[in-house]
Amino acid sequence: MMIKRLIIALVLILTGHLAQAQNRQPEPVAGKNLTKDYFTQNLVYPEADLQQGNSGKVVVGMHIDKDGNPSDYSIISTFSEAASPIAIAMVKTILWQPALHGGIPIDCEHQYTVEFNAKSYKRYWKHHERPNLPLTLEADDSNKVYEDYHHLEQLARPYFADGSNIGTYIARNLKFPAEAKEREIQGTVRLSFVVETDGSISNIVIVNSVGGGCDNEAIRLMQETHWLPAEKDGKYVRSLNMQDITFSIGSRNFQDGNSY
């Protein structure tokens, strides 16, 4: 009898997990944590609220169709009128996975909360600097993400004030994860991401995973880069990009120092 009850309990648990996987709310393609990171690194606080130390939340409503396309943005609630357009502009950068019902993509109404914390904001920017990119063109406001490079007059490209390139940057700054060294894990992490019209990087997704901490290190490296956005019809536009970051142990074993 005890075994039978245990089996029934396990079946119920597995059924519950399956139901959760089959039914879900829309989710950012980059996941919650990387989306939150992007907001932390790129949110511009309303100056008056920042000076007064005003903190709060802005809840943005939207419709997300079965293909993950958002529309009909609106403010559900806000702590500051000045923060509302900033929150909507930030939420518009998110690419979405659609809601699921019974494993089938569906249209739905959704809400996303943008948090404004004056203390955290000041603390973050005390230790960071906003990039001074040489941007001279107007930004396209259609919110379209260009995936076909043939439609672009100029591709997005990484910007380094010292004139170096992405390969040099990676070689100088890559920190081989301790776990990958110990387990002798190596390979190439491929990431996709969107270069926004202001040169920031959003919607980072791991296309090819290596593991052993390499994925996280690749993400860290990309989060610290700045880009000149793609151009079309004399305006800066959003574009989907790919970057490979290779983790190679080389000809010697990290654990015993012997050659392979």
DSSP secondary structure string, 184-204?
T--EEEEEEEEE-TTS-EEEE
The H or E element spanning position 55 is none
Which helix (H) or strand (E) segment is 159 a member of? strand 157-159
H or E stretch covering 40:
helix 32-42
**Same-domain status, 83 and 143:** no
> Looking at the domain assignment, is residue 169 inside a domain?
yes
Residue with tokens 């990431």: 191
pLDDT of residue 108: 97
pLDDT in 10s for each residue of the chain, 260 residues: 554 454 444 444 444 554 556 899 999 999 999 999 999 999 999 999 999 999 999 999 999 999 999 999 999 999 999 999 999 999 999 999 999 999 999 999 999 999 999 999 999 999 999 999 999 999 999 999 999 889 899 999 999 999 999 999 999 999 999 999 999 999 999 999 999 999 999 999 999 999 999 999 999 999 999 999 999 999 999 999 999 999 998 744 444 443 32
Does 132 reside within a domain? no
- Kindly state whether residues 82 and 47 are assigned to the same domain: yes
The answer to whether residues 67 and 109 belong to one domain is yes
Q: Using the 3D structure, point to which of 126, 154, 188 is the last residue of a domain.
A: 126
Backbone angles phi, psi at 21, to 5 degrees: -70, -30
Class of residue 204 by CB neighbours under 10 A (exposed 0-12, middle 13-18, buried 19+):
buried
243 and 149 in a common domain = yes
Give tens-digit pLDDT for 147-197. Answer: 988 989 999 999 999 999 999 999 999 999 999 999 999 999 999 999 999
Identify whether 150 is part of a domain. Answer: yes
Residue 189 and residue 90 share a domain: no
pLDDT of residue 182: 92
- 150 and 230: one domain? yes
133 within some domain: no
- Residues 35, 94, single domain; the answer is yes
Cα 84 from Cα 31, distance rounded (Å): 23
Residue 22's pLDDT is what? 85
> Which residue among 126, 159, 177 closes a domain?
126
Give how many domains the chain has, as a whole number: 2
Do 61 and 39 share a domain, yes or no?
A: yes
As a whole number of angstroms, the distance between CA 26 and CA 17 comes to: 17
Alpha-carbon distance of 41 to 204, in angstroms, equals 14
Contact 247, 213 (CB under 8 A): no
Domain boundary among 104, 126, 148: 126
In a domain, 106, yes or no: yes
pLDDT of residue 46: 98
**Residues 165, 217 within the same domain:** yes
**Residue span of the structural domain in which 147 resides:** 138-247
Task: Please tell me whether residues 115 and 153 are part of one structural domain.
Answer: no
Tokens of 105: 């993509």
One domain for residues 142 and 199: yes
Does the residue 6 lie in any domain? Answer: no
| 67-84 pLDDT, tens digit each | 999 999 999 999 999 999
Domain containing residue 84: CATH number: 3.30.2420.10
- In a shared domain, residues 157 and 191: yes
Q: Please say whether the beta carbons of 199 and 229 come within 8 A.
A: yes
Q: Give the other-Cβ count within 10 Å of 80's Cβ.
A: 19
Does residue 45 belong to any structural domain of this protein? yes
Residue 3 domain-assigned (yes or no): no
